[in-house]
Amino acid sequence: MKGALSVANLILGNGGAAAHAVMGLRAAGYSGSLDMVSGEDGAGFNPMLLPYFLKRAINHEACFPFGPDFYERHGVTRHFGSPASALDAQARTVTLADCRTLCYEQCLVATGARALVPPLPGLADNPRMFTFRDQHDGLRLTRALGWARSAVVLGGSLVGVKLAEVLAGRGLEVTLVDLAPQLLPGAAHPLMAEYIRGLFEQRGVAVRLGHELKAVGEREGGPRLDFQGSPSLEADICCLCIGVRPNLDFLNPTQVPLATGVLVDETQRSRAPGLFAAGDAAEGLNAQTGRHQWFGLWGKACYQGRVAGWNMAGVSRAYPGAYAGTWPEFITPLLGRVFSSLGDPNRQGEGVRTILCRDQQGDPKAVLVLENQVLVGLNLLDQVNDLGLLRGALIRRLPWPEPRNPQNEVVLDRLLAELGGLPASGFLKSRQVLRAGTPVDFPI
């Protein structure tokens, strides 16, 4: 194409997937040119760190884990400050917003995602409405915390609950609102979600569930949020955490099959020639279900990017590695506890059995969901050091022991002891982790 710049390997995006693709290409021995396109003009940002920045656990520079010298270290030519505006998958060209055109041999779409802002009256243009996704959001919200005394957080999924916790910790009067009838919908079993709701209320955070936002109005001193069939809420600021949308507006869906993200196989290849996708822009295969699923998690984005880099370099590798985890999972400190979710803790249907584990006080410690005696979903509070065992059982789809208690209510320690008998970690059957000073009980 006349006037177009020809490049061998082009990476669209500048986040975790993009950086790990670069490192994967170089690790695989690719020494040719690498070109990267990004709308931002700076180092790659990790949105997962925003709550920690807002909490003042880290400074703003720490939100850029690869550092400003990443590109020089890895021989990357930057085309920054102008995002991709169109991609012709047949002609293998990318047009940037500043009208430059790049012809590629192979291209990785790792453009990440942006905060979802629904088209509701008064929402998008309200000056006191804050999204919580990119580096600018973090700085803007930090400035607002200098004067705001109250906040409504819209969205009770992982980002929303983390933000509500941080805002409450910084002294704001916080109301957490979600359309769903529970917090952490999809990630938490209703019983665990109810317990977490109680933790929030103990911290003074009001939780409003089943609230559908209708419009955002103006009032003196802040926004007024109007809900369908529920009383309005007023606060100094409103934080929108209802989800993200992949940055894929530049793709033509008739050329590149899309769902939530670009549909890719285990090698991160799309169905378009020479076109790969990774991270929030991609929709990979869920190892549990065999169906495409959008994950939206930092660690998985990094793995996907690395696999894409390897394959772009000609090293054939597939994504579903045992440790990478091609299924939904996350872990986070929350309200003084550590909450983790693996697989599908809300699985329902024939052959599905849910085991609730409580501690001595009667509070839930774990929810384990079995389908045909195989662990398919899990919620855990604390017990971090046992997570590897449980994750291993889920990954390997190992049969679970029959419960000895007909009420299906057993303590987690006993379940873990039973789990330790699985052949994958067979030597752990009578697992007794000894501590210093523990007398060794010799059986013979």
Partner 1 sequence: MPGGGDTLSDQLGFIFEVAACSGCMACVVACQDQNDLPGDGPSFRQVTKLEQDGPPPVLAFLSLSCQHCGDAPCLMACPTGAIFRHHPGEVVDVNRDLCVGCRSCALACPFGAVHFLADGKMAKCNFCHQYMAHGLQPACVRICPTGALRLGPLEDYSQDKAAQASRSILQAAAHQATGFKE
Interacting residues with partner 1 (CB under 8 A) = 20, 23-24, 27-28, 46, 48-49, 52, 57-58, 62, 65-66, 298-299, 302-303, 306, 310, 315, 322-324, 329-333, 338, 340, 384-389, 391-392, 396, 398-399, 401, 421-424, 426-438, 440-444
Residue 131 CB, nearest approach to partner 1 (Å): 20
Q: CA-CA-CA-CA torsion for 270, 273, 274, 275, nearest 10 degrees? A: -30
Ordered alpha helix ranges (H), 33-157: 50-54, 70-73, 135-144
In angstroms, what is the minimal distance from the CB of 344 to partner 1?
Answer: 16
Taking the complex as a whole, the smallest distance from the CB of residue 116 to partner 1 amounts, in Å, to 22
- Nearer to partner 1 (CB atom), residue 215 or residue 374: 374
- Note the maximum CA span of the chain: 84
In whole angstroms, the minimum distance from the beta carbon of 395 to partner 1 comes to: 9
- Copy the structure tokens of residue 75: 């021989």
Beta carbon of residue 331, minimum distance to partner 1 (angstroms, whole number): 4
Nearer to partner 1, 66 or 130 (CB): 66
Tokens of 184: 């952490």
DSSP 8-state symbol, 45? -
Query: Strand locations in 60-200, DSSP E?
Result: 76-80, 84-88, 93-96, 101-109, 113-115, 129-131, 150-154, 173-178
Distance (Å, rounded) from C-alpha 51 to C-alpha 74?
A: 29
In terms of Cβ atoms closer than 10 Å to its own Cβ (0-12, 13-18, 19+), residue 362 is exposed
Q: State how far the alpha carbon of 28 is from the alpha carbons of 25, 32, 220, 308, 315, in Å.
A: 5, 12, 59, 11, 7
Q: How far is the CB of 84 from partner 1 (least distance, A)?
A: 25
Q: Please count the other Cβ atoms lying within 10 Å of the Cβ belonging to residue 421.
A: 13
Structure tokens, 165: 């916790």
Q: What distance in Å separates the CA atoms of residue 215 and residue 233, rounded to the nearest whole number? A: 11
Rounded-to-integer distance, Cα 331 and Cα 337, Å: 11
Instruction: Between 228 and 432, name the residue whose CB sits nearer to partner 1.
Output: 432
Which tokens is 383 given?
């017990």
Nearer to partner 1, 177 or 422 (CB): 422
DSSP 25: H
Kindly tell me which of 85 and 332 has the beta carbon lying closer to partner 1.
332
Least Å distance, CB 432 to partner 1, is: 5
C-alpha distance from residue 212 to each of 173, 231, 236 (Å): 21, 11, 20
Q: Which is nearer to partner 1, 88 or 382 (CB)?
A: 382
User: Checking phi first, is residue 307 left (phi over 0); if not, alpha (psi -120 to 50) or beta?
Assistant: alpha
Smallest separation, CB 431 to partner 1 (Å)? 6
Decide if 357 contacts 304 (C-beta within 8 A). no
Closest approach, Cβ 244 to partner 1, in A, equals 16
* DSSP-H helix ranges across 353-402: 387-396
| Nearer of residues 338 and 352 to partner 1, judged by Cβ | 338
Q: Phi/psi at 375 (nearest 5 deg)? A: -65, 120
Sign, CA dihedral 184-189-194-200, equals negative
Residue number, 46 or 93, with CB nearest to partner 1:
46
- CB closer to partner 1, 234 vs 266: 266
CB of 444 to partner 1, least distance (A): 5
Nearest to partner 1 of 99, 440 (CB atom): 440
